[in-house]
Amino acid sequence: MAIDERFLDELTNRLDMIDVVSRYVHLDKKSGRWWGCCPFHNEKTPSFTVDPDKKVFYCFGCREGGGLIAFVEKVEKLEFPDAVSLLARMAGMEVPTDEREQAAYRRRGRMLNLNREAARFFHENLTGDQAQPAKEYMAERRIAPRMVSRFGLGYAPDKWDALITAMANKGYDKADLLDAGLAVKNEKGRIYDRFRNRLIFPIIDVSGNVLAFGGRVLDDSKPKYLNSPESYVYHKSDNLFALNLAKNTTEPNYIIAEGYMDVLMLHQAGFTNAVASLGTALTEEQCDLLKKRTGEVILCYDSDEAGQRATERAIELLRARDVKIRILRMKGAKDPDEYIKKNGADAFRALLEESENSSAYRLEKIRAKYDLSDDDGKLAFLNEAVGLVSGFRSAIEIELFAGKLAETTGIRRETIETEIRKAQTRKRRQTERREMRETLRPAGIAEKPAGNLRYRNVRLAQAVEGVISLVAANPELLREAESSLADEAPGEEALIHIWKAVKKAIKAGTAVNPDLLSDLLSPDERKLLSGLLMKTPDGPPRETLGEYLAAVEMETAKAKARGGTTEDLTALLKLKKEQSRT
């Protein structure tokens, strides 16, 4: 029985490609990509690269490439099903072996497709007259039009069944909407839209799948924010809002804010590294996501009690993963949106640069609780502070803050260091006892064509390659590209197959990944697709697509004319670019 592509999609999404490939290849991160010496041919200078978000590897030396499954197939010399089984064991998953399990993955696919259609429905509503409340709210909050398309914002009409009716026309019934959390059933059995008269924020994963939605009320009704419930495809603890956008940031760190609007306004102000947890304090799974992408996090939570608790929780989890943490304090504003509107983006950037070390932040919080002019207060402060410092993992940090405590209290540094060592010993013994109890407890349940491919018309093929690379990275451009680029237009069998496969994947709502297209592409075609996915076309996506499509049109005309005189390609592209600018 063929393995359901939805299972393969979930398997490759659950595993971190860098973790898997690093078992076989030493990788270093340079210019946003991971590089190493290719395991498939001898080389001294790294030409093997991995893109963990696209789940693709490619060697610019031997032109070997593919997805995560293809990598394991080749490096372990396994057949496809055996490579899938090996990866499934790594991920703690079971390969579906019967129709019931296969049906579960088809259910996931249907739900993702429904979410995508719902997101389009909400987004298209923003252009109509019925969306006036949302337009007024966005104008009041100063949300720029470019943010509407960047975040895929939408509007849920003030009707009981607007989405239900629209999705029925797409082939989805009420049971589908209930399953996805897009509809609600009341005690009398009536089914109606979950989101009504709200500004909609789609929650999108790094592969471009729409998982869920958040809705912001446009008046004073409660709750202010309404979120999708957890579903077969959505687990809020496993995702971060706007990570699909922040993953491309050039900043060296990530900013963690509290809510959708804070993140949107941070991106609007140029802080493209902002993300948010989804209605909860930061979770272990979310911290793991951050650890894979950055070595430093700036926490930007509200200063109220809930925000302080969230900050403490995040510090503990991130420190356990050796992620550097800084704490942002905003004076005269309750959140980043308000601060930026009052003081500007430059002032906020300066605030980021001044953000304090998490250890200093926590010690200052302890200090504020006690009167150090009183001996009892000083002693209580030291007891709590020593307990905190003894948990630091860096010896340098412990020595630094032991000195600070000595300066603050007037107690000899040697005395404080002795107390820190005692506290460390107590913690170590507590850990040993806890581990012993766990041990005794009963166990739980557990660019050139690749390979033999050759192009007959290189210039046409290069233009089509550009279209494929661009559309794979920007699925929203598919309709425009599809209207101009017919299936047979590439003129090269390999590119025809790849173009059809890319379109099928995007329309099905699955990742454009060579591993998931093995039934449509030959091994050499999958290698070629891997190389195309590694390309990052320059310039604005829509303008660049126009240039590629113009090149395809001209080269196709030249081929039909069989060498007849035509405009030079370079001149045509230059003219197209000048026209787009004017």
Per-residue pLDDT, 181: 94
Question: Pick the residue with more confidence: 444 or 204?
Answer: 204
Per-residue pLDDT, 565: 39
Residue found by looking up tokens 């302080």 in the block: 308
Taking phi first (over 0 means left), then psi (-120 to 50 degrees means alpha), and beta for anything else, what does residue 32 get? left
Are 65 and 22 within 8 A, CB to CB?
A: no
Per-residue pLDDT, 458: 80
Per-residue pLDDT band at 220 (split at 50, 70, 90): confident
Closest C-alpha among 238, 275, 243, 283 to residue 258? 275
Burial class (CB in 10 A: 0-12, 13-18, 19+), 50: buried
Are 60 and 49 within 8 A, CB to CB?
A: yes
Nearest-angstrom CA–CA distance, 151 and 202 = 7
Q: pLDDT, tens digit, for every residue of 391-435?
A: 777 787 788 878 888 888 888 888 888 888 888 888 777 776 765
The HSE-up count of residue 214 (CA atoms within 13 Å, CB side) is 19
Closest C-alpha among 479, 480, 487, 462 to residue 554? 462
Nearest-angstrom CA–CA distance, 138 and 132 = 10
Are 4 and 102 within 8 A, CB to CB?
A: yes
Q: pLDDT, tens digit, for every residue of 175-192?
A: 999 999 999 999 889 999
Whether residue 40 has pLDDT greater than 80: yes
Are 61 and 43 within 8 A, CB to CB?
A: yes
Burial class (CB in 10 A: 0-12, 13-18, 19+), 258: buried
Q: Which of 170-174, 328-332, 437-441 has the highest mean pLDDT?
A: 170-174
Q: pLDDT, tens digit, for every residue of 113-141?
A: 999 999 999 999 998 888 999 999 999 99
Count of all residues that appear for the chain in the document: 582
Per-residue pLDDT, 572: 42
Taking phi first (over 0 means left), then psi (-120 to 50 degrees means alpha), and beta for anything else, what does residue 157 get? beta
Per-residue pLDDT band at 448 (split at 50, 70, 90): low
Q: What is the DSSP string of 131-165?
A: GHHHHHHHHHHT--HHHHHHHT-EEE-SSSSHHHH
- Residue 87: count other Cβ atoms within 10 Å of its Cβ: 23
Q: Which two tokens stand for residue 312?
A: 């403490």
Closest C-alpha among 275, 299, 284, 415 to residue 352? 299
Closest C-alpha among 318, 329, 266 to residue 294? 318
Nearest-angstrom CA–CA distance, 284 and 413 = 36
Written as one letter, the residue type at 382 is: L
Are 287 and 252 within 8 A, CB to CB?
A: no
Question: Pick the residue with more confidence: 535 or 180?
Answer: 180
The reply to whether omega before 223 is within 30° of 0 (cis) is yes
Q: For 23-52, what is the mean pLDDT? A: 88
Q: For 55-64, what is the mean pLDDT? A: 90
Give the pairing type, strands 356-357 and 296-300: unpaired
Are 84 and 68 within 8 A, CB to CB?
A: no
Nearest-angstrom CA–CA distance, 284 and 433 = 24
Question: Pick the residue with more confidence: 35 or 441?
Answer: 35
Q: Residue 566 in 3-state DSSP?
A: coil
Nearest-angstrom CA–CA distance, 447 and 250 = 26
Task: Note the pTM of the prediction, 2 decimals.
Answer: 0.62
